[in-house]
Amino acid sequence: MSIGKERLKHYLDIITGRLAKAEFSRGCLIGDFSLEAASQSEMLRTRLANIFIEWRAPFAVCIAQGQATGEIAATFAPEDLAEFLLSSWEGAILRMKVERDAEPLERFKSIVFATVFKEPSI
């Protein structure tokens, strides 16, 4: 696995470990808050949307670096891939909380690194 992909995987592994320590009963605070409170206040919804945009930026930079070195296919814009990564990961966290198990997170990582972030075809 290349350096950019390794950085992404390492980050997701760290988060998985933290969630495991909480016995998979806690998820992402911003994700949980978005699910429960975004419809209650336009100001709150806007702030939550901006937080997700802020989170997307470092992932997009990492993906762009991987695309520049050829380790990640440039089929999609880095921002689009970062958005997909974060949205899919939040869904996996939601499932993890319901199942109280790491399997949704591990399945996400396995699939995303075998498909979306696989080595580009030459």
Q: Is the pLDDT of residue 91 over 90?
A: yes
Q: Is the dihedral of CA 75, 80, 84, 85 positive or negative?
A: positive
The residues spanned by each domain of the chain are 3-114
Q: Is the dihedral of CA 26, 29, 31, 34 positive or negative?
A: positive
Architecture of the domain defined by 3-114: Orthogonal Bundle (1.10)
Q: Which residue has the higher pLDDT, 87 or 41?
A: 87
Gap between the Cα atoms of 77 and 110, Å rounded: 22
How does residue 27 score in pLDDT terms, banded at 50, 70 and 90? Answer: confident
Q: What is the helix (H) or strand (E) element at residue 107, kind and residue range?
A: helix 103-114
pTM metric for this prediction: 0.84
How does residue 30 score in pLDDT terms, banded at 50, 70 and 90? Answer: confident
How does residue 1 score in pLDDT terms, banded at 50, 70 and 90? Answer: low
